[in-house]
Amino acid sequence: MHIGVPREIKDHEYRVGLTPDSVRELVKRGHRVSVESGAGLGIGCEDVEYRDAGAEIADSAEAVFEAAQMIVKVKEPQPAECQRLRADQLLFTYLHLAPDGEQTADLVASGASCVAYETITDEHGGLPLLAPMSEVAGRLATQAAAHSLEKIRGGRGVLMGGVPGVSPARVVVIGGGVVGENAITMALGLGADVVVLDRSVAVLRRLAARFGPSLRTVYATASGTEAEVLAADVVIGAVLVAGAETPKLVSAEQVSRMQTGSVLVDVAIDQGGCFETSKPTTHAEPTYVIDGVVHYCVANMPGAVPRTSAYALNHATLGHVIALAERGLSAAMADDRHLRNGLNVHAGQVTCRPVAERHGYDYIAPDQALAG
């Protein structure tokens, strides 16, 4: 198969779909790989490294899209990229379609087969291609919160870990999954006072067993969530409903009653965000203030540490890229229901139920769509 890797064009996105190591693996298996010139610069990889790995270097994104049978990216295709997709092409990347009706319509119109990293599952019920970026985003969320608490950034002027005789910041993490657990790890490491809210007692037990009495666990009722949010210096939203838009767990009215200079970090913003006042931001302008509360809602947080992120992501995605390249879409998915769960759009049909329901499309099961 001919695989194409365009340079990412989302604002301040420096990751790349395939690293030179991944290219080498694919070329050794007999596949062709075209990489747009400069695609790897954000992770410190020059064109020569890709050429040495066996890739062909393309002068433009147009050349990559025109030649490739499968496009491997990191972030959702921007409008110009959607226009380059064609019906005989496979797109493999993060999509996050539930909150994005415009992108959904563009992908449906393209006729391409679009596989989303974030809805591929595993035998344990996890999301293995989302997990590495969730680990990165969870850790970055605490770093972002610590910086945003600084007075010069609009925050309360509180040091995350405090000092002897002065209390640390109070950090509330909503959601105890991969993002939440990594945010907790960093916040406790900095010496913060940390509480986690979740609706799963099993998750709370697991986190309590891991972190011990340093972490306070609270079952996430509406009243309990409100009380913790209003008392917090930092609230990190770490909630995910696979493939669907994230529920709004903190209302605008509650935000208006939070402490002035407190910080909200919405890691769920890719799926619509879990705070009613959230709107996507970029690394160029990562924060805004509503009712005195600093909001950090960067939609591609792991892009801030692209080298770490790209290599971690490739470790998770490469096996699936190989399976799709060697067997083709239909055969690869026929034998792997977890990979089949990643199919969101195929031949003008929406094959992810939450996306179809959110945007008013008829839902077609992936196996039915692939059968014709």
Mean pLDDT estimate for the chain: 97
Contact 181, 189 (CB under 8 A): no
Reported as a single tens digit per residue, the pLDDT across 52-108 is: 999 999 999 999 999 999 999 999 999 999 999 999 999 999 999 999 999 999 999
Reported as a single tens digit per residue, the pLDDT across 203-239 is: 999 999 999 999 999 999 999 999 999 999 999 999 9
Q: Is the pLDDT of residue 125 over 90?
A: no
Give the integer Cα–Cα distance in Å for 287 and 144.
10
Reported as a single tens digit per residue, the pLDDT across 139-189 is: 999 999 999 999 999 999 999 999 999 999 999 999 999 999 999 999 999
Give the integer Cα–Cα distance in Å for 304 and 187.
19
The SS3 of residue 333 is: helix
- Looking at the chain, the whole-number percentage of residues with pLDDT higher than 70 is 100
Catalytic entry in 96, 295, 346, 359: 96
Q: Is the pLDDT of residue 269 over 90?
A: yes
- The residue-averaged pLDDT of 327-355 equals 97
pLDDT at 120: 97
pLDDT at 244: 83
pLDDT at 372: 81
pLDDT at 26: 98
Is 31 marked active-site?
no
Q: Is the pLDDT of residue 242 over 90?
A: no
pLDDT at 225: 97
Q: Enter the tokens of residue 216.
A: 């306070």
Q: Is the pLDDT of residue 283 over 90?
A: yes
Containing 287, the helix (H) or strand (E) segment is strand 287-290
Give the DSSP letter string of 29-95: TT-EEEEETTTTGGGT--HHHHHHTTPEEESSHHHHHHH-SEEE-SSPPPHHHHHH--TT-EEEE--
pLDDT at 241: 82
Cα distances (Å, whole numbers) of residue 187 to 46, 108, 142, 217, 315: 35, 41, 6, 14, 26
Q: How confident is the model at residue 2 (pLDDT cuts 50, 70, 90)?
A: very high
For the chain, the 3-state helix, strand and coil shares in percent, each to the nearest 5, are 45, 20, 40
Give the integer Cα–Cα distance in Å for 146 and 164.
18
Contact 147, 140 (CB under 8 A): no
Q: Is the pLDDT of residue 243 over 90?
A: no
Contact 272, 245 (CB under 8 A): yes
Q: How confident is the model at residue 302 (pLDDT cuts 50, 70, 90)?
A: very high
Catalytic entry in 106, 270, 295, 320: 270
Give the integer Cα–Cα distance in Å for 350 and 54.
35
Is 106 marked active-site?
no
Burial of residue 351, with CB atoms counted within 10 A of its CB: 0-12 exposed, 13-18 middle, 19 or more buried = buried
